[in-house]
Amino acid sequence: MTQTTSETGALFLFKHATRTDWGVGVLIREDAGKRGYLFEDGAERTLANGYHQLMRRVEDPTAAQRAFYERQRTLIARRESGSSSFLDQLERFHATYPDGFMDGAWLVNVRGEGVAQRAPRHREALVRDAQEQLSAEALDALIKTQGWQQVWKRVTTVLSHTDLVPGPQLKKSVCVNNDVLRGLALAVRELLHGKGAYEPRFDAYLAALTPIYHEAPHWEFATALSAAYHPADHFCVQPTLLRQQLKALSASASLSARATSATYRRISNIVRLISKKLSEQNQVPRDLLDVYDFVRVTLASPSKLKAPSTKAHAKSAMIA
């Protein structure tokens, strides 16, 4: 029967009698006479029965060794409880993109830099498309000629070329009249280019969207447009991932089922906290789309992540 660290009591700090290059190790499991240790060099190693005596208890650990012990104890406790943390996310991020936001794979696969053909996940093309198609000048020209339908078409076309918005949210109502489209066109113009506080502009946009779909707007559609046009200032809300992120940060903020300006304001504060935490770890996001994709990559199902060949995975050695 496998014993976890929570079953065997307090974690102990050990060092190998001859392999000082491994650093100190923390006992993380015992299974059928074998003991597993996690060492300072990042490797997890298993010692078979009969070799346990090579591991000596560290009686007077240094401050650095005590800090290592505390870090590992916290991470192991999270692993056993099935929970996550921001540091866990950073580890997953670097496992997939060793150089973080400046990793070549990130720049090509996520930002879409230098690619010949655009994909829905590419952020640079999305921002460029939004800022060209929905500029103040372009919207004003359409509004001046009462091109309400054209404004709506530009909005849905821009959002249909990205993976930020699920396909079903892009379907148009069959009963949309010019008065509804006029209100929506003016709300889009004010949302993206208005000078007043963002919250009432966002409220007006939500109100204009409601008759289009005959229901309160979903988070993705409600927030993707501002995120695409103003990526340094706004964040596209993906509810499932954001709830996971709130849990990982131990944040108490709740997420309403449909978009509201009050909840978006709280979300914005949390997203900026994530951005700050990333910067403190020398991972400075280019914009909040980088933060969005950081959350997506690090909280996605492991089966959906592709580990790069350049990553040097931690060793797992059997010493017998």
- The answer to whether position 88 is within a domain reads no
Under 8 Å CB-to-CB from 168, ≥6 apart: which residues? Answer: none
The domain tally of the chain equals: 2
pLDDT on residue 311: 35
pLDDT on residue 287: 98
Q: Are residues 50 and 163 in the same domain?
A: no
CA distances from 163 to 112, 123, 198, 256 (A): 13, 10, 24, 22
Structural domain harbouring 199: 95-304
Q: Are residues 63 and 119 in the same domain?
A: no
- The answer to whether position 298 is within a domain reads yes
- In DSSP terms, 24 is beta-bridged to 15
Q: Are residues 108 and 166 in the same domain?
A: yes
Q: Are residues 51 and 178 in the same domain?
A: no
Render pLDDT for 67-111 as a digit per residue (tens, 0 to 9): 888 877 766 665 555 445 788 888 889 888 999 999 999 999 999
Q: Are residues 111 and 192 in the same domain?
A: yes
Q: Are residues 114 and 259 in the same domain?
A: yes
Q: Are residues 68 and 176 in the same domain?
A: no
The token duo for 65 is: 């060794």
Angle (nearest 5°) at CA 181 between 176 and 175: 0
Q: Are residues 63 and 147 in the same domain?
A: no
Q: Are residues 278 and 196 in the same domain?
A: yes
Q: Is the pLDDT of residue 304 over 70?
A: no
CATH of the domain at 11: 2.30.30
Q: Are residues 17 and 156 in the same domain?
A: no
pLDDT on residue 77: 62
The token duo for 173 is: 């109502």
Q: Are residues 194 and 299 in the same domain?
A: yes
b/e burial code for range 15-41 (CB count within 10 A of at least 16 → b): bbeeeeebbbbbbbbbeeebbbbbbbe
For residues 245-268, give the mean pLDDT: 83
Domain boundary among 52, 83, 114: 83
Residue 222: closest CA among 194, 195, 261: 261
What is this structure's pTM?
0.69
- The answer to whether position 186 is within a domain reads yes
Under 8 Å CB-to-CB from 288, ≥6 apart: which residues? Answer: 227, 231, 232, 233, 234, 235, 271, 275
Q: Are residues 54 and 194 in the same domain?
A: no
CA 194 to CA 201: how far, in whole Å? 7
- The answer to whether position 310 is within a domain reads no
- The answer to whether position 313 is within a domain reads no
pLDDT on residue 1: 36
Residue at 35: amino acid letter: R
Least confident interval from 110-114, 282-286, 296-300: 296-300
